[in-house]
Amino acid sequence: MKIYDAVIVGAGVIGCAAARTLAQTNLSILVIEKEPDTGFGISSKNSGVVHSGIHYTPGTNRAVCNVRGNQMMEDLCSELCVPFKRTGKITVAFTEEQTQSLTKLLEQGKANGVPGIRLIDREKMEKLQPGIVGTTAIYTPSTGIVSPYELTIALAESAYANGVEFKFNHTVRSIDIPDRQKKYFLLHTETNTFSAKVIINAAGLGSADIARMAGIDEYTLYPCRGEYYVLDKRLKEALNLLIYPVPGAHDSGLGIHLTNTVDGNILIGPSNEYIIDDEDTATTIDIMETLREEGHHLLPSLSSTDFIRSFAGIRPKLAPPEEGGFRDFVIESRRDVRGFINLIGIESPGLTASPAIAEQVKELVGQLLPLRDRKDFIQGRPVIHNTPFLKKRFSDCSHDEKKTLISQNPDYGSIVCRCEEITLAEIKTAAARTIGPVTFAGIKYRTRAMMGRCQGGFCLQRLTEILRESFGITVDTQTLKGPGTELFTGPLRPSSCPLGKES
Amino acid sequence: MDKKIEFAVAVIGAGPAGLAAAAGAAGAGAKSVVVIDRDNRAGGILNQCIHDGFGLHRYNESLSGPEYAEREKQVLLNYETAGKITILSETFVQDLIPESYGFPLAVMSTGSFRIIRAATVILAMGCRERTAGAISLPGTRPAGILTAGTAQRLMNIQNINVGRRAVIIGSGDIGLIMARRLTLEGAEVAAVTDIQPYPGGLDRNVRQCLHDFNIPLLLSTGVVKVHGNKRVEGITVAQLDSKNRLNLQTSTYIPCDTILLSVGLIPEHELARSAGAALDPATQGPVVDQHLMTTVPGLFACGNVLQVHDLVDFVSEEAEYAGACAAEMALNQFRSTGRVIQSGNTILPIKVGSNLRYVLPHTISKPGRVTLSMRVTAPEINFRVCVARLEKSDNRILLTKTFTRVSPSEMLRFAFNCDTVEPLEVYGESF
Ligand SMILES: Cc1cc2nc3c(=O)[nH]c(=O)nc-3n(C[C@H](O)[C@H](O)[C@H](O)COP(=O)(O)OP(=O)(O)OC[C@H]3O[C@@H](n4cnc5c(N)ncnc54)[C@H](O)[C@@H]3O)c2cc1C
Ligand SMILES: Cc1cc2nc3c(=O)[nH]c(=O)nc-3n(C[C@H](O)[C@H](O)[C@H](O)COP(=O)(O)OP(=O)(O)OC[C@H]3O[C@@H](n4cnc5c(N)ncnc54)[C@H](O)[C@@H]3O)c2cc1C
C-alpha cells in the first residue's frame, strides 16, 4: 500500500488550498472527498466576500488569517485566473447603539491591520452608493468579492497538476491511529483503505466527526443555516459596493445584506438559523419571505421576476446556540495524536482566510516532516488532461475577439446556454478538465451554464446530448451531483436511430 | 464594416410566429426575407408538441404540433425556391442594436460569426418557462425538478424518460399535457396542484388530460417543502386560506421522484430590451402599436415574444400581419428615405380598464381595422368587453363583445374598426 506523506480529508476551499500549498514541497499528497467534485460543500454556498478583517478579536486565528488571506487573495486569483474584484464595503450604523459599535469596530479593524479603514460621513456614503440610508459608516476599501467555487476548482487543479492525487466519492468512515504495530494512520472509506504519515482534517461540517474518529472528542459543531436569494443580472448596476449593517454582539452571522457577485448577480442573505441536520440545505417559506421583503426594502427597483434562485449554506459553528457569536477557528497539530492536524469550525471568513490557513498548515506539517520546496512547481492555471484553461469567457469578449475565437475553434460559434452565453467550446473544455467524474453541477460551477435566469430550461437538454455524444456518459448515468442524483431514468424506449437525430 | 442592407426583413425565430411572419412579409412584396433560428429545425415549440389540437381555426382540423409546423413550412417553400426567403438554422442572434441605417444583427453558428443588416426586424423568439427559482419553491434542490416544457422536449424529442412518479406544480397547459404524456408512458402522476382556485390551462386540456385519466387536480394548493437531498423523495403541499396563506394544518406529504413545474411563461424579451424597446410589465413583452411595431421604429414583434398565446392559430394570424407591416415599412418608407422613423401621426394610448389584465395593442396611430387581444383577470360567466372613448360621455361605447364564459387561460381576440383617433379604453364587466 502506498504511504502518503499527507492525506487531506475534504476538498473544499480549505482542503484544496492546503493541498496546493503543500504541493509546492516534496510531499506525496492525497485528498479524499465524499462528493464527486471539489467545493460541493460549504465552499460553493456562501457570500463569496473577501472580508477585510474588522469583525474579529485581534490576535485570534480568525483575525490574523482573515487579514493575511485578504492580502494574498488578489495575487493568488490573478495567478490562477479566478474572478476577483476589490469592491470595498460600507458597514452602516442606523441606531445610536450601532454608531457606538462602529467606533469599536474601527478600533478593532485598526488593531487587526485592516488597510485604509476609516469612518465616513453621509456625504461620502452617498458618493460611494447613491441613495444609501444611514448616517455614519465604516469604509473598508480592501473588502472584495471572489468566485468561491472557481477559487476552489483552481486550487484543486493547481494541486492536481503538481502531483496531488484526488479520490472522489470516498467518505472517510474510520481512522486507525499509529501505535506500536504500525507507524502510520489508516483511513478507511467504504471500499478502500489509505495510509498516511500526516492527516489534515479539512472536512468542514464533518470535521468534528473526523476528529472523533481519531479519538479527539472535545469538538462539537452546531450547524447554522444561511438562506439566500440570487437576483437577476439586470440589476448589475444597482449596487456599487457591499453594504452591511453593523452586527449585534450575539449575532451568529453578519446580518442580511446585499452582495454583488463577480458574475454580476446580487445575493440577498444570509439568514441565521441553528438547525439539527447538517445536510439540510432546504430553504424555508418564512425566511424566503423575510429575504424578499428585505430585498425590496434595500433595493426599491426590484421586481418579482428578479428573484432567479434561492439556496442555503450551513455554517460549521463551534459556538452553541445559547452562546451565539463566534468562536475562534481551530488550527492545531495534536500532541496527543501526533501527525493529526485539525482545521475545525472554519466558518466565515474561511473563504478569505483559506490561503493564510494553508500557510499555517504548511508550517505545522513542517514541524512533523522534513519539507523541501520543489523547483519544478507549475505556476498559474495549469493544463489538465491535455486541455488548456480558457482564460477569457466568450461572453466577455468583443465582437472582434468572438470572431477570432470562432475562427480558431468552430465550437465557439455554438451557444449552449443562452442566458449566460456559454459556448460548446467552453462546455467541452470544462468537462475535459474535470478531475473527478463529470456532473451537471460540476459543469455549472465551471462554466455558469444553468445559472442564468432560465435555470437550465434551455441548456439542460443540450448538455445531455453533449455529455452523451462527446464524453460517452449514457443518459441513465448522468447525474446532478454524483451517485443517487441521477437526472433521468433512462431512455424512454429502445431506439434504433441516435437520440435527437432523424433517421 | 460593410453597411449594405442585405435583407428587407429579418425574422428572429422560426417557430409558427417566425414562419408566418416571413410568409406575411413575402406575401406583401418583400423580396429578401431572412428567418433565423437557433434550433436545427424550424417549427419552434411545435416540434415537441406531439399531441393534437392545433389548427382548429386555421385549417379546420385537429393537427399535431409537427403537422401544423409542416403546413406552415409548406407555405414558405415557394418563396424559398423563388429566392425571396432564406432560412438560417442552428444560428443564434446574439444582439441587435438599432442604428439610424437599418438593423445590424450579430449572428453566430458553428464556425461563423457575422453581422447581417436588415431594414426591418421582426421579433418571433417565443417564450421561456418560469422556474423553481422564480416561484421560490421552498425546500431542497435535488435532481428530479424540471420545467414541464423541458420534460416535454426530453421525452418527445430526445427519447429520455424523466421519472416514475410525478407531482406537477401549476396547471398551465404544458403541465396538463405532460400529466397525460407521463401517464401514457407508464409513469404515475400523483397530483397536479395550483395556487389559484381555478385551473391555469384550457378547459379542454383539464378534461382530456386530467379527468379522463383520474389524475387529481388540487386547486388553491401551495408547496410547503420539497424533500430529498439527492433525488426528489416527495413534496409537502397545503391548502391556501382566504388570505392566500398556507394553512399548515392541511399539510399533506406526497411521495414522488419527479416534480414538473408549469407555472407560467415569460416572453423571451432580452433582444427587445437590449434594442431599447419599452416592455409592458403585464405581458413582459414589448409595447406595440396597431401594426405590432415596438417603440423602436422598424422593430416588430409577434407570437409568444409579444404575448403568451394559448392557440397557435392566433399566433400565425398575428405574425402574418406583423410580417406584412414590416414589409410595407421596408418597401415604402425605408426605400424612399433610407431610414425608418416613427410615423408622423399622433400615437394614442389604449387604456386597460377594469377586469382585464392587459390589452394589445398598446397604442393606435391611425384609423383602420385593429385586432385587439386581451386576457381577463379572473374567470367570469356572462361577461362583456367594451371598447370605448376614454373621455366620459353618453355615447362613448364604440363596440361591445359578449362572452358566456371567460377565463385568464383563454385569450380574447376580436377585430375592431377604429374610425376615430381619440384615446380609447377597453374594459370588461359581468352582466
Ligand atoms: C452562509 C455562509 C456564508 C459565508 N460567507 C462567507 C464570506 O462571505 N466570506 C468568507 O470568507 N467566508 C464565508 N463563509 C465561510 C466559508 O464558506 C467557509 O469557511 C469555507 O467554505 C470552508 O471551507 P471548507 O473547505 O472548510 O468546507 P467545505 O467546503 O464544506 O469542505 C469540506 C469538504 O469535506 C468533505 N467531507 C466531509 N466529511 C467527509 C468525510 N467523512 N470524508 C470525506 N470527505 C468529507 C465535504 O464533502 C466537503 O466537500 C460563509 C459560510 C456560510 C455557511
Ligand atoms: C407545450 C405547449 C403546448 C401547446 N399546446 C397547444 C395546443 O394544443 N393547441 C394550440 O393551438 N396551441 C398550443 N400551444 C401554443 C402555441 O403552440 C404557441 O403559442 C406557439 O408555438 C408560439 O409560437 P412562437 O413562434 O411565438 O414561439 P416558438 O414556437 O417558441 O418559437 C420561437 C423560436 O425562436 C427561436 N429563437 C429564440 N431566440 C432566438 C435567438 N436569439 N436566435 C435565434 N433563434 C431564436 C427558438 O429556437 C424557437 O424556434 C402550446 C404551447 C406550448 C408551449
In chain A, % of residues over pLDDT 70: 97
Q: pLDDT value at position B421?
A: 75
pLDDT tens-place string over residues B52-70: 999 999 999 999 999 999 9
Is the pLDDT reported for residue A497 higher than 60? Answer: no
3-class secondary structure per residue, B134-195: CCCCCECCCECEEEHHHHHHHHHCCCEECCCEEEEECCCHHHHHHHHHHHHCCCEEEEEECC
Q: Positive or negative, the Cα torsion across A202, A8, B143, A295?
A: positive
The grid coordinates of residue B255 equal 411521495
> Is there a contact between A421 and B94 if contact means CB atoms under 8 Å apart?
yes
Query: In the prediction, which pLDDT does B338 show?
Result: 61
Contact B226 A282 (CB under 8 A): yes
For residue A51, indicate whether it is catalytic.
yes
Q: What share of chain A is helix, strand, coil (3-state, %, to 5)?
A: 35, 20, 45
Taking all residues of chain A, what is their mean pLDDT, rounded to a whole number? 93
CA distance B54 to B69: 10
B331 or A131, which is more confident: B331
Looking at the predicted structure, is the pLDDT value of residue B344 above 60? Answer: no
Nearest CA to A63 out of A316, A343, A358, A357 is that of A357
Domains along the sequence of chain B with CATH: 7-127+266-341 (3.50.50.60), 131-263 (3.50.50.60), 351-430 (2.60.40)
| pLDDT computed for residue A455 by the predictor | 87
Beta bridge partners of residue B188, listed in sequence order: B165
Q: What is the distance between the alpha carbons of residues A89 and A117, in angstroms, rounded to a whole number?
A: 10
Q: For residues B431 and B425, give the distance between their C-alpha atoms in angstroms, rounded to a whole number.
A: 19
pLDDT for position B167: 98
- Kind and range of the H or E run holding B129: strand B127-129
Give the pairing of strands B92-96 and B234-240: unpaired
Distance (Å) from the C-alpha of residue A36 to the closest C-alpha of chain B?
Answer: 13
> Are the beta carbons of B384 and B400 closer than 8 angstroms?
yes
pLDDT band at A59 (very low <50, low <70, confident <90, very high): very high
What Cα–Cα distance (Å) separates residue A29 from each residue in A18, A45, A163, A178?
Answer: 10, 26, 8, 18
The CA-atom distances, in angstroms, between A123 and each of A36, A117, A131, A259 are 50, 17, 11, 22
**Residue closest to A88 by CA, chosen among A119, A128, A42:** A128
Q: What are A180-201's pLDDT values in tens digits?
A: 888 999 999 999 999 999 999 9
Given a cut of 80, whether residue A24 has pLDDT beyond it is yes
The pTM (predicted TM-score) of the whole model is 0.94
Is residue A69 within 8 Å of A52, Cβ to Cβ? no
Nearest to B342, CA basis, from B378, B400, B277, B293: B293
Residue A463 cell numbers, joined? 448538455
Q: What is the predicted pLDDT for the residue at A311? A: 93
The predicted pLDDT at position B339 comes to: 61
Res A302: pLDDT: 84
Is residue A90 within 8 Å of residue A129, measured between CB atoms?
yes
Q: Which domains does chain A have, with CATH numbers?
A: 1-82+146-218+321-382 (3.50.50.60), 83-145+222-317 (3.30.9.10), 397-477 (1.10.10)
- What pLDDT does residue A252 have? 65
The band of B340, judged by pLDDT with boundaries at 50, 70 and 90, is low
Average pLDDT of B259-265? 95
Q: What is the pLDDT of residues A345-384, one digit of tens each?
A: 999 999 999 999 999 999 999 999 999 999 999 999 999 9
- pLDDT tens string A421-457: 999 999 999 999 999 999 999 999 999 999 888 888 8
What pLDDT does B135 receive? 87
Three-state DSSP state, A176:
strand
- Cα angle, residue A424 at apex, residues A418 and A430 outer, rounded to 5°: 110
Ligand 1 pocket by C-beta < 6 Å: which residues?
A 9-15, 32-35, 39-43, 46-49, 51, 171-172, 202-206, 210, 226, 270, 313-315, 346-352
Q: Do B231 and A464 touch (CB under 8 A)?
A: no
Q: What is the DSSP letter of A486?
A: B
Over residues A474-489, the pLDDT tens digits come to 999 999 999 999 999 9
- Judged against a pLDDT cut of 80, whether residue A255 lies above it is answered with no
Q: For the segment B196-242, what is each residue's pLDDT rounded down to a tens digit?
A: 999 999 899 999 999 999 999 999 999 999 999 999 999 999 999 99
Q: Does the pLDDT value for residue A501 go beyond 70? A: no
Residues 6+ apart with CB under 8 A from A123: none
Q: What is the C-alpha separation between A477 and A456, in angstroms, rounded?
A: 18
Q: For A273-290, what is each residue's pLDDT tens digit?
A: 999 999 999 999 999 999
Cα–Cα distance for residue pair B159/B184, rounded to 1 Å:
14
Q: What is the mean pLDDT of residues B70-90?
A: 95
Q: Point out the catalytic residue in the list A51, A55, A170, A257.
A: A51
* CB-CB neighbors (< 8 A) of B142 in chain A: 480, 485
Q: How far is CA A278 from CA A167, A311, B88, B290, in A?
A: 23, 15, 52, 58
**B 138-157 → A contacts, CB under 8 A:** 138-144, 146-147, 149-150, 153-155, 157
What's the mean per-residue pLDDT of chain B? 93
Read off the pLDDT of residues B147-172 as tens digits, 9 standing for 90 and up: 999 999 999 999 999 999 999 999 99
Task: Kindly tell me if the per-residue pLDDT of B3 is higher than 80.
Answer: no
**Chain B partners of A463 at a C-beta cutoff of 8 Å?**
none
Per-residue pLDDT at A231: 92
Question: CA neighbours within 13 Å on the CB side: how many for A359?
Answer: 14
DSSP codes joined into one string, B15-75: SHHHHHHHHHHHHTT-S-EEEE-SSSSTTGGGGG--SEEE-TTTTSS-EEHHHHHHHHHHH
Which residue in the block uniquely carries the three cell numbers 492545531?
A332
B281 touches chain A (CB under 8 A): yes
Choose among A307, A399, A461: nearest Cβ to B133: A307
What percent of chain B shows pLDDT beyond 70?
96
Burial class of A130 by CB neighbour count within 10 A (0 to 12, 13 to 18, 19+): exposed
Is the pLDDT at B342 greater than 70? The verdict is no
pLDDT at B1 over 50: no
Whole-angstrom distance, CA of residue B378 vs CA of residue B355 = 7
Which residues in chain A are closer than 8 Å to B162, comparing Cβ atoms? 488-489
pLDDT confidence band for A464 (50 / 70 / 90): very high
**What is residue A349's three-state secondary structure?**
coil
Give the confidence band of A503 by pLDDT, cuts at 50, 70, 90.
very low
pLDDT mean over A401-410: 96
Nearest by CB: A491 against B92, B112, B161: B161
* Sheet bearing A84-85, strands edge to edge: A49-50, A144-146, A84-85
* Protein residue whose Cα sits closest to atom 8 of ligand 2: B53
Q: In sequence order, which ranges of A223-299 are alpha helices (DSSP H)?
A: 285-298
Cβ neighbours of residue A220 closer than 8 Å, sequence gap 6 or more: A208, A318, A320
Q: Taking a C-beta distance cutoff of 8 angstroms, is the pair B9, B118 a contact?
A: yes
Q: What is the mean pLDDT of residues A139-143?
A: 97
| Range in A247-251, A369-373, A470-474, B95-99 the model is least confident about | A247-251
Distance CA A16, CA A351 (A): 11
| pLDDT average, residue stretch B371-388 | 96
pLDDT confidence of residue A365: 98
Pick A279's closest partner by Cβ from B146, B155, B229.
B229
Q: Name which residue leads in pLDDT, A338 or B98.
A: A338
Q: Do B112 and A406 touch (CB under 8 A)?
A: yes
Residue of chain A whose Cα is closest to the Cα of B182: A492
Contact A307 B136 (CB under 8 A): yes
Q: Which residues of A touch B231 (CB under 8 A)?
A: 484-486
Query: How far is A440 from A478, CA to CA, in rounded Å?
Result: 8
Per DSSP, helices labelled H in A238-349 are 285-298
Q: Counting atoms of ligand 1 from 1, which one is nearest the CA of A343? A: 26
Does residue A491 surpass a pLDDT of 70? yes
Q: With an 8 Å Cβ cutoff, is B162 touching chain A? A: yes
B326 close to B302: Cβ distance less than 8 angstroms: no
Dist. CA A386–CA A377, nearest whole Å: 17
